Amino acid sequence: MAKIVSEDSEFPAGLRVLAIDPDPTVLESIKKICKPFKYRVMSADDAQSSVMKAVADGACDYWFKPLREDMLKNMWIHAVRNIKNGDRQKRENDDSEFGSSSVIGGRGVVSSPRESDEVGESNHSYQPPAKKLRVIWTLDLHRQFVKAVKQIGDEAVPKKILEVMNIPGLTRDNVASHLQKYRTYLKSTPNEAKQQNEMSRLNNNIQGTAESSVGVPVRLESLTPSHVSSNTQVTLNPAPNHVSNNTLATLNLPLSDASYNTQATLNPAPSHVFNNTFPNLHLPPILATNNLGPTPTIQFPNESHPEGVTHVGHPSNITIANNFPCGGVWPPVDIQQANVLMDILQQQQRQHTMMHRQICPMNLQPSRLMVSRKTTFVTQNINHGLLSSHIVTSPGVSQIHGANIPGSTTGAVRSFPAPESNAVVPYGSRSGDLIYQEYTSIPPESLENTSFARGSSDPNFSKGIDDNNISMEEEEESN
């Protein structure tokens, strides 16, 4: 038995035919025939069992000897089907990632990559095992969750919550998992002092302009690694306030007549640890408004798709993430929008126009705005001297990993995001390629060649409890 792999650019690249035959001479003959056309599994064994086994093992066809030229000639059909199926599968995954049933041309909330087959011959082409879809608890979805929990009251158990939420595709396990985290979060963050009114206000403003309200909130991502590469986020990273004296700055982005101060921080801190050091927190207009600012080229997806469509037709998912306690904008903007943002920011950097004043008098170093498509910087720089312990993470310390217990500055604490926050990125999402990071007190030279670390992956978490309460109230009103 031998195999021949034939590759010819005339046909779709990469197609391969496995020819199996005990006689090398025959194989050579097959190879010659294949030359002008291309590929296949061929056997003199015409037993049905053999055919079935071959197909079951992934063969898309089974040829009997003697070969006929037209069999080879039409071999490409199978290849095209496979390619088509592959694309389709990928598309489904992408759609799922953006996760709205309102997506034009999209599917339901949950769609198995192999639920159907356009060609109608799925049993003839190998499909890898279905990947489980990961539920991303977007703000909308989480709000529905909270709403359901409140509505049900003490009886709130995963099953009932699931029923009340009535989200197609969402499973009891999904809810249970989320409920677990939610409860832990609630325990760890009893009613804290109200504070940071400014942030709350801003938050509400953002919510009013950018939040989708009708769209299906479930965002599913396939666990397929391939889609991950296209998942990009723009992240505004907050800093822990315990180093605020050294790292906080206010950034005036001259994007409009108004003065927008963006407070950059390097790592989030629990709101109950905060001493309300963000009195002037504002987002740049491009982030905080719709078309009111001077940068009309940037629009949030939900503007053009009021029903909450988060994305149509683009494989990349760029999220402008605001890790400030004040939350941010959701849903994600698409990649063009993010690129525009990048261009703007970079241009501003070039023009040296962005930093005007600093919050902390102790801050003697010039401020800087970092714009990078790499994400590796913030955390590492924090770790390398700015923070003694960035274990302090969120208002909702939630899970203690048994294996990681304390005494160290790493690993022991997990967080649960302030659930009602309006953060830009759903806390289930992961940070990506773009960081828009402002910072001070770090000598620019020391960072120029520094690799970037991803910022917090929990953009919601440091949201103020105040916001939490406000959101809760809002939800109660709506009930």
Partner DNA sequence: GTTTGAATAT
Partner DNA sequence: CATATTCAAA
Binding residues vs DNA (CB under 7 A): 132-137, 157-159, 172-174, 176-181, 183, 223-225, 228, 231, 375, 391, 393-394, 398-399, 401-404, 409-411, 413-417, 426-428, 430-432, 454, 456-458, 461
Q: What are the beta bridge partners of residue 250?
A: 263, 357
Give CA–CA dist 119/27, Å, rounded: 31
Give me the least distance between CB of 460 and DNA, in Å please. Answer: 7
Give CA–CA dist 71/90, Å, rounded: 29
CB 330 within 8 A of CB 212: yes
Nearer to DNA by C-beta: 30 or 424?
424
DSSP tag of 381: H
Give me the least distance between CB of 458 and DNA, in Å please. Answer: 3
Nearer to DNA by C-beta: 285 or 315?
315
Nearer to DNA by C-beta: 135 or 281?
135
Nearer to DNA by C-beta: 200 or 393?
393
Give me the least distance between CB of 136 and DNA, in Å please. Answer: 5
Question: Could you tell me whether strands 434-439 and 231-236 are parallel, antiparallel, or unpaired per DSSP bridges?
Answer: parallel
Nearer to DNA by C-beta: 230 or 244?
230
Give me the least distance between CB of 100 and DNA, in Å please. Answer: 16
CA distances from 432 to 101, 350, 373, 454, 457 (A): 24, 24, 8, 7, 9
Please enumerate in sequence order all residues whose Cβ is within 8 A of that of 37, keeping only pairs 6 or more positions apart, or say none: 11, 69, 72, 73, 75, 76
Give CA–CA dist 328/331, Å, rounded: 10
Give me the least distance between CB of 197 and DNA, in Å please. Answer: 25
Nearer to DNA by C-beta: 22 or 225?
225
Nearer to DNA by C-beta: 47 or 403?
403
Question: Is the peptide bond between 66 and the residue preceding it cis, with omega within 30 degrees of 0?
Answer: yes
Q: What are the beta bridge partners of residue 478?
A: none
Nearer to DNA by C-beta: 51 or 387?
387
CB atoms within 10 A of CB 227: 19
Nearer to DNA by C-beta: 105 or 225?
225
CB 168 within 8 A of CB 144: no
Give me the least distance between CB of 401 and DNA, in Å please. Answer: 6
R_g of the chain, CA atoms, integer Å: 27
Give me the least distance between CB of 459 and DNA, in Å please. Answer: 8
Please enumerate in sequence order all residues whose Cβ is within 8 A of that of 252, keeping only pairs 6 or more positions apart, or say none: 259, 260, 261, 354, 355, 356, 357
Give me the least distance between CB of 172 and DNA, in Å please. Answer: 6
- Sign of the torsion angle spanned by Cα atoms 85, 87, 89, 92: negative
Give me the least distance between CB of 287 and DNA, in Å please. Answer: 20
